[in-house]
Amino acid sequence: MEAARSAMAEGGIEAVAVEPLARRLGVTKGSFYWHFEDRKALLNATLERWEKESTEARISASRRIFDPRERLVRLGEEVFGDAPLDGEASGQGIFSRHAFELAVSDAAEDPLVRPVLRRVIEHRVGYLEECYRELGFSLEEARHRALLVYAAHAGTLRLFRDAPHLVPRGEGYTYYRRHLLSTLVPGDRAGDAEGT
Instruction: Supply the CATH number for residue 134's domain.
Output: 1.10.357
- Domain region containing 136: 48-193
pLDDT tens-place string over residues 78-99: 888 776 654 444 444 555 668 8
Under a CB-based contact definition with an 8 Å cutoff, are residues 94 and 185 in contact?
A: no
Residue 146 in any domain: the answer is yes
Integer Cα distance of 112 and 107 in angstroms: 9
Residue 113 in any domain: the answer is yes
Count of the separate structural domains present in the chain: 1
pLDDT at residue number 34: 84
Residue 3 in any domain: the answer is no
H-type helices in 12-138, by residue range?
Answer: 18-25, 29-35, 39-51, 57-62, 68-80, 92-106, 113-134
Residue 30 in any domain: the answer is no
Q: How far is CA 117 from the centre of its chain?
A: 11
pLDDT at residue number 85: 55
Residue 182 in any domain: the answer is yes
Residue 89 in any domain: the answer is yes
Residue 6 in any domain: the answer is no
> Is the model's pLDDT at 192 over the cut of 70?
no
Three-state SS annotation for 25-41? HCCCHHHHHHHCCCHHH
Integer Cα distance of 128 and 36 in angstroms: 35
